[in-house]
Amino acid sequence: MATTNRAPKLKLSNVSKEFTAPGTGQRTVAVADVSLEIQSGEFICVVGPSGCGKSTVLNMVAGLAEPSSGTIEKDGVPITGPGADRGVMFQDYALFPWLNVRDNIGFGLRHGTPGKELSRSTREERVGHYIELVGLAGSENKYPHQLSGGMRQRVALARLLANGPDILLLDEPLGALDAQTRLILQVELLRIWGETAPAEQRKTAIFITHDIEETVFLADRVVVMSTHPGRVKAVLPVDLPRPREETIRAEPRFGHLAEEIWGLIRDEAYRAIA
């Protein structure tokens, strides 16, 4: 897929991000010189140790932060701010504490651009659909503070999907789920992304995770980042066929790929806990 000569959906060119601490004026380079071309319909996974700048990259693509240098383009146009075309699922969910599950999921449809042309009943139907999808039926009227971490995460996922963005930016979206729910939602996520649809109908996804097997199961390409400063260390194509079934995890190729990725981050992972 990376070999097509179409213009990339997303193009990051020499993107760096520096933070300056307000008090001391001390500078941290969070992201250094990241260049990456993502094709329309690609599923990209990003792995790397904590603090290597994964969330920062995602925020810049979302338009919530500006690169200190370099450019980010979507369909050849520089990104100048956030928009509903790039939906974000935040690492800490960012749910609205005063809204119940249903209203959190329907927030963008009700107050944002995604629901502009939809009738009220269509919006409600869509919200109901995603409540079912993430398995929150029965909890529609609960407030975020009444939910477990895993349930909150599913609300955030449903909220993102209900807005129907064509680029999905997911920051450790399944991290708080128990292992079983996680496997189910991985398959579900691939379906929503468009795994069974022709490639040109798929959404574009950037998926941050800590879980190496998750990257192999989901991704077309895996971006491995390293820390201090945050750089792209390697980009690995995952040459496993789609649609991916659960059984793929048992195949030797799956294990080889996971092994290879682990090899790339092992040193830093050990250094981080040493």
Partner 1 sequence: MSSAAERQHAGPPQPSSLQTPVLQRELDATHTWQGPGGAKPSQITRWMSKRGVIAIRSFVIFIALWWLLALWVNRPVQLPSPLRVAIALGGLIAAGEVSENALISVSRLGISLVIAAVLAIPLGFLMGLRREAEAIIDPVVELLRPISGIAWIPLALFIFGVGDILPLFILVYVAFFQILLNTIAGVRNVDQRLIAAARTMGVGRWAVLRYVIIPAALPTVMVGIRLAFAAAWAAIIAAELIGAPSGLGFAIEWYRELLMSPKVFAFLVVIGIVGYFADLALRALQRWLTPWAQGTELA
Ligand X SMILES: Nc1ncnc2c1ncn2[C@@H]1O[C@H](COP(=O)(O)OP(=O)(O)O)[C@@H](O)[C@H]1O
Q: Which stretch binds partner 1 (CB under 8 A): 21-29, 47-55, 106-114, 245-253?
A: 106-114
Token digits of residue 134 = 């993430």
What is the DSSP secondary structure assignment for residue 230, as one 8-state letter?
Answer: B
The answer to whether residues 207 and 44 touch, using CB atoms and an 8 Å cutoff, is yes
Which one of ligand X, partner 1, Mg ion, none interacts with residue 28, CB within 5 to 8 A by kind? ligand X
Least distance CB 179 / ligand X (angstroms): 22
- Given 35, 50, 69, 112, the residue binding partner 1 (CB under 8 A): 112
User: Which of the stretches 18-26, 77-85, 220-228, 237-245 binds partner 1 when contact is defined by CB under 8 A?
Assistant: 77-85
58 near 171, Cβ under 8 Å?
Answer: yes
Query: CA 85, CA 81: separation in Å to the nearest integer?
Result: 11
**Of the candidates 55, 204, 226, 227, which one interacts with Mg ion according to CB under 5 A?**
55
Minimum CB separation of residue 230 from ligand X in Å reads 6
Residue 68 binds what, of partner 1, ligand X, Mg ion, none (CB under 5 to 8 Å, by partner type)?
A: none
Q: Using the minimum distance from each CB to Mg ion, give the nearer residue, 55 or 181.
A: 55
How far apart (Å, rounded) are the C-alpha atoms in residues 87 and 79? 14
Per CB under 6 A, contacts with ligand X among 64-83 are none
Of 10, 12, 30, 88, the one binding ligand X by CB under 6 A: 30
Give pairs for 186-192: CB < 8 Å, separation 24+.
Answer: 186/214, 186/217, 186/218, 187/244, 187/246, 188/133, 189/218, 190/43, 190/218, 190/242, 190/243, 190/244, 192/133, 192/161
Contact positions with partner 1 (CB under 8 A) in 160-189: 163, 175-178, 181
For residues 255 and 43, what is the distance between their CA atoms, to the nearest angstrom? Answer: 19
Query: Which partner in Mg ion, partner 1, ligand X, none is near 161 (CB below 5 to 8 A by kind)?
Result: none
Candidates 112, 117, 67; CA nearest to 85 is 112
- Count the site residues for partner 1 by CB under 8 A: 45
> Among ligand X, Mg ion, partner 1, none, what binds residue 178 when CB lies within 5 to 8 Å by partner kind?
partner 1
Dihedral pair phi/psi, residue 69, rounded to 5°: -150, 165
Show the tokens assigned to 222.
Answer: 């895996």
Site string for Mg ion, 184-223 (x = CB under 5 A): ----------------------------------------
Neighbours of 38 (CB within 10 A): 24
With b for 16 or more beta-carbon neighbours within 10 A and e for fewer, the 76-105 pattern comes to: eeebeeeebbbbbbbbebebeeebbbbbbb
Q: Which of residues 37-56 bind ligand X (CB under 6 A)?
A: 50-56
Q: Which chain residues interact with partner 1 by CB under 8 A? A: 62-64, 81-84, 86-88, 90, 92-98, 107-108, 111-114, 135, 142-154, 159, 163, 175-178, 181
Q: Which chain residues interact with Mg ion by CB under 5 A? A: 55, 91
Q: Which chain residues interact with ligand X by CB under 6 A? A: 19, 28, 30, 50-56, 230
